[in-house]
Amino acid sequence: MAGDYPEGRGRVRIEAAGIPIEGVSIAGHESFYKLPGFRTLLEFGRAPEDVLGYATVCVTHGHLDHIAGLAHFASRRRLQDLPPARVFVPAEAAEPVARWIAACEELERIAYRLEIVPARPGDRVQLRNDLELTVLPGRHRVPTVGYLFSEVRHKLRDEFAGLAGEEIARLRSQGTDVTRREEVPLLAYPGDCSEEIFDAAPQLFAARVLLLECSFLFPEDRDRAREYAHIHLDDLLARADLFRNEAIVLTHFSQRYRPDEIRDALRGLPEPLAEKVVAFLP
């Protein structure tokens, strides 16, 4: 996978707090993340072979380093006769994305099987019996949403605890709701964002894994981070005690940084950040 990427950057495979995350993320170049446990893709800067089988895609915004792969994905899935894929995009971007995909269908004289779903903050989608997607607000230079994946558990209500299995089955057959729903926030991802995201989407602090862009690291890049609505490492330091996450996976580093510079900058982090932060680097 090298060659096409800056030195030391490229395909990454990590496991953060038990959740495998794989992909590529280089600011302005390409971002996509495979979440094998959820059979879902986050972002789509390009469509490599091994993601074609994923039928759920969550795109945070229309910058091409996050969405350019979508048409290619649709075309290749159609050639392989795969069933329809569902693509979540920010509601304001749904119409231009649909027009773009339609133009590609016209060019290829073929109908893709892509369902473009407008995503609005607060929307909830059941991905599986045990997995729910919640749309979070975004904060970036173009319309953006974030995504939260939660495990859904159905726990027996306390008042039925001690009952025999047959008794519970009998109550259930009579229509009694014997379970309560419990949600465990597994992974949150706000897409590209400025530090305002922490006020807009406080859910970020509570997910087991926070996948967070951190495009900029050094003091001389502070203004650049503000101007382009990206996270700077200082934004994390200012909130160091608020993160209740087990792991914070930092990603989307500027192409200007070498991997050793990135690692050095993160090595200098104080606790409690140091023990949680993982760099999304090969």
Residue ranges binding Zn ion (CB under 5 A): 63, 65, 192
For Zn ion, the closer CB: 34 or 63: 63
Longest dimension (CA), the chain: 67
For Zn ion, the closer CB: 138 or 185: 138
Task: Tell the smallest beta-carbon distance from residue 153 to Zn ion (Å).
Answer: 34
Do the bridges between strand 179-189 and strand 145-156 make them parallel or antiparallel, or are there none, so unpaired?
antiparallel
Task: Tell the smallest beta-carbon distance from residue 65 to Zn ion (Å).
Answer: 5
Contact between 251 and 280 under an 8 Å Cβ cutoff? The reply is yes
Task: Tell the smallest beta-carbon distance from residue 22 to Zn ion (Å).
Answer: 18
For Zn ion, the closer CB: 65 or 221: 65
DSSP state of 123: -
Q: Is 218 helix (H, G, I), strand (E, B) or coil?
A: coil
Query: In whole angstroms, what is the distance from residue 198 CA to residue 203 CA?
Result: 8
For Zn ion, the closer CB: 63 or 139: 63
E runs forming strands in 106-195: 114-119, 124-128, 131-137, 145-156, 179-189
Q: Is 166 helix (H, G, I), strand (E, B) or coil?
A: helix
Task: Tell the smallest beta-carbon distance from residue 26 to Zn ion (Å).
Answer: 9
Task: Tell the smallest beta-carbon distance from residue 128 to Zn ion (Å).
Answer: 28
Instruction: Report residue 278 as tokens.
Output: 């993982």
E runs forming strands in 3-144: 12-16, 19-26, 30-35, 40-42, 56-58, 85-90, 114-119, 124-128, 131-137
For Zn ion, the closer CB: 66 or 208: 66
